[in-house]
Amino acid sequence: MDWLGRAYLNFTTAPESLQLTGKDGAKTDLLTVVKETVPPCNLNPLLFNGHLQTCWTAFGRAAPATHYKRRIFEADHAEFNGSYAVDFVNRGPEEPVDPSLPPRTAYFSDEEKAAMGSEDSRPMLVVLHGLSGGSHEVYLRHAIAPLADSGEWEVCVVNSRGCANSKITTGILYNARATWDVRQTVKWLRKTYPNRPLFGLGFSLGACILTNYIAEEGASCNFKAAIVCANPWSLDISHKMLSSSFIGHHLYQRVLGTAMRKLAADHKEEIIKYTNVDYETLTTLTYLHEFDRAYQCPTWGYPTEDAYYRDASSNDSLLAVRIPLLCLNAEDDPIASKWGLPRTEAAQNPYTVLCTTSLGGHIGWFELGGGRWHAKPIFNFFNRMAFEIEAESISHDQPLHQAPRKKDAGYSPTHFEPLRRKMQVKLD
């Protein structure tokens, strides 16, 4: 039972959690590490439900003043070409204000870009933000500041196309299936900083993208470990839950839709130039699903927004994850519905632990004094995995926890492929 903001925690994983070895040779497992690094969840008792926690994000704007340097990447994917921006946490002298960029952000100079790269072995965190957000988001800065300020971590944020004052150079924005930019960034980091262990962190829609990416990479994933926060795992369920309530439809769907309509307005010239989408129609839309229907479906080839939601969901993807993955969700999250949480999938995969809190809202987790609880397990878990766990000892072929399959007992010989997607790239 919740009492005065004290949320209860629940952990779901396979009966035999992933075996790990400490750098001191001690044996442990992923569930034990998670339970030791996830602290009690004591939140602001005045924000006593998911709606209050979520809505307070519009008022609780205090956050660490994180500074960035931006590098623009040209996509190397032939079909999904264009550019996107990656912001690197900057510990150097404060740069002059650039009004074309978010606060505390400046471009790398050509000389600085040419000098990027090193042989150091500091761990590096790759971060993906939520819908229409960017590196400037308050929840994101709360999470990465303790790691960056420790001096032991490097951090970069992959901004989704068109977000955080970046300009699109094609008609493509981004969606929950768009894993190409994070994949290219990880490959570039692996080449540029060959000795740095890489870790992943995603929030909301970025958590969905990150989970899909990690699953697609499977045992070859370059991340040593990752965390996904407030992942709307089953997008179709979350959409239906939002649409079924007055506050979900008229508040959350409207706020998210307004954010995407503003994003479209920021890229009016590019949308008109590169797509056949009726821009004037976009200006009349109110709700998120309307934007997805009018823009995402034609630009990504989906017949309906529901088809997109089903195809881009990441709950099945959880079965293909083969690196240590901590999943943080609040059960009272009004946007990432608890009815879409992949509990049964997490219960089969020893590489994943689903940690739910009974309170917290959608990337709220506000504590008394304005702190954000999610920053604590992020800091603790990544430091444990980076500095205390022997990465080379992690096996990438531990099987899922499934009942034995016996043909003579009527079991089907067919095989389920969690990454079988509906959207396919057709080459001429």
Active centre residues (catalytic): 204, 333, 362
CB contact burial 411-426 (16+ within 10 A = b; e otherwise): eeeeeeeeeeeeeeee
Please answer whether residues 305 and 256 qualify as being in contact, where contact means their C-beta atoms are separated by less than 8 angstroms: no
Pair 358, 428: CB distance under 8 Å: no
Residues 6+ apart with CB under 8 A from 6: 40, 41, 42, 43
> In terms of DSSP H, where are the helices of 277-374?
279-282, 288-291, 297-300, 305-312, 343-346
Residues 49 and 332: beta-carbon distance below 8 Å: yes
Does residue 426 sit in helix, strand or coil?
Answer: coil
Could you give the CA distance from residue 378 to residue 121 in angstroms, rounded to a whole number?
Answer: 20
C-alpha separations of 17 from 149, 331, 390, 396 in Å: 32, 23, 16, 13
Q: What distance separates the 2 farthest-apart alpha carbons in the chain? A: 72
What tokens were used for 144? 């990465």
Please count the other Cβ atoms lying within 10 Å of the Cβ belonging to residue 52. 16
Cα–Cα distance measured from residue 420 to residue 267, given in angstroms and rounded to the nearest whole number:
33
Is residue 343 helix, strand or coil?
helix
Q: How far apart are CA 312 and CA 407, in angstroms?
A: 33
Strand partners, 68: 89, 105
What DSSP string runs through 82-130? SEEEEEEE--SSPPPP-TTS-TTEEEPPHHHHHT--------EEEEE--
Pairing verdict, β 223-229 and 198-203: parallel
Angstrom distances, CA of residue 391 to CA of 22, 33, 316, 322: 9, 14, 26, 13
3 state SS of 68: strand
